[in-house]
Amino acid sequence: MSDYKLLINGQLVAGDMTMPVINPATEEPVAVCARASKGQLDQAVAAAKIAFPAWSRTTMDERRAVLVAIADVIQANLTDLARLLTQEQGKPLADATGEIFGASAFFRYFASLDLPATVVTDDATSRIEIRRKPLGVVGCIVPWNFPMILMAFKVPAALLAGNTVILKPAATTPLTALKLGELIKDIVPPGVVNIISDANDLGGEMTTHPDIRKISFTGSTETGKKVMASAADALKRISLELGGNDALIVLDDVDPKEMAPKVYGAAMQNAGQVCIAAKRIYVHESMYDAMCDELVKCANAAVVGDGLEQGTQMGPLQNKAQFEKVMGFIESAKQDGKVIAGGGRKGDKGYFINPTIVRDIAEGSKLVDEEQFGPVMPVIKYSDPADAVRRANASIYGLGGSIWAKDSNRAWDLATEMESGSVWVNKHADLQPHLPFGGAKFSGIGSELGEDGLKEFTQVQVLNMAR
């Protein structure tokens, strides 16, 4: 029997099957949780469809009150949720605590928004208004790198817009989402939020389900293509936040000693498992050697270990498949460049990889051209900043990017040329709830966060009346 159950129609329900959830630091089960069947997915969708008319007619104040109540219960259970998140995801407890707090904060942020009607014309001949209407049942599919904060990119916006929700966490990190279901079952009206977990076998069923009107998906580009294709028959709305291969460009006027820890942090947060992590580091030839030396110091000083242990700065890769994929990147990088820090597994238990720095590498290498999603940093030499931007833009991806310089105006001018949904100057991966977030090119379709992200969960309706 599992202690972690599905939330369907306001009830905690045992799965038709169960599955173990593995702690990536120990390779041992954290718990056994419910695993939904196709029939249980259908039950959840049916409950959400039935709940939609009443929920969509609630006032914005009523919906806001529910969002605030969810934020309150997340915050009240912060310690327990953070520990559970570390056990199933691997990240250090301090980072997990920040993620849980952030999820609560994002619910509060969306509770501050509104979707007012806009009056375009109001005169003696006509009145024209533009309104935003909810879509219906929304499927929210969340990945394993940030299970709670990425849930909070989607669910509160969908609810505030008047939709009902099916939330599906990743197969390897379902526990915090299922625990959230337990915490909110008496806060949210039955059927308004349903939470199911699977073994990577129900995503396709969601994207083709005729009663789900929108899919909000965060994950890999290849899976995003499948989501887009399978949603086509039903003309289902989609939002896709997909892979990234963010370029970080360091100009020639910075101090390598001062800059290296910032660059290292931009690349190595969450063991590099961040869609907008700095994944390609371009450094001017005048300071290339010095920057590489400083990055090595950062990597060698990092404390890698179980996220529950005090002092841990980097946890394991989240799952065995990703661990093996990143080890493959390292092996290919040994052929294409020079590994100057790390370069292998740490220990013989858990999915730990020592933070790895690779120099004397360039485009054409798998590590540079593809998204590694792990603690492996390629450092690439350039001589002309405009050429560095061109090389950065040559990627199929366009999620984020950054330029670093003492002369921030010079960096700003170059940043405007980067082909990315978000570009930062003298910082990286700064996501804020009021700013829209989305990718260019193969990095996604649509936006999350901010008013733009809220509107992604709505249908425009024009009311046009003659007088």
Catalytic residues: 241, 275
How many other C-beta atoms can be found within 10 angstroms of the C-beta atom of residue 144? Answer: 21
- E strands in 324-368: 338-341, 356-359
Contacts of residue 310, Cβ cutoff 8 Å, sequence gap at least 6? none
Q: 462 φ, ψ to 5°? A: -100, 120
DSSP 33-88: EEE--HHHHHHHHHHHHHHHHHHHTS-HHHHHHHHHHHHHHHHHTHHHHHHHHHHH
For the chain, report the end-to-end CA distance as a whole number of angstroms. Answer: 65
Say how many residues make up the chain.
467
What distance in Å separates the CA atoms of residue 331 and residue 320, rounded to the nearest whole number? 17
The structure tokens 């599919």 sit at 141
Six token digits for residue 360: 């004397």
Q: List Cα–Cα distances, 97 to 68, 79, 84, 148, 277, in angstroms.
A: 19, 7, 10, 11, 20
- E strands in 142-286: 164-168, 193-195, 214-218, 237-241, 246-250, 278-284
How many other C-beta atoms can be found within 10 angstroms of the C-beta atom of residue 343? Answer: 18
The interaxial angle of helices 93-111 and 78-89, nearest 10 deg, is 120
Is-contact 317 271, C-beta < 8 A?
A: yes
- E strands in 156-272: 164-168, 193-195, 214-218, 237-241, 246-250
Q: 413 φ, ψ to 5°? A: -60, -40
3-state SS assignment for residue 460: strand
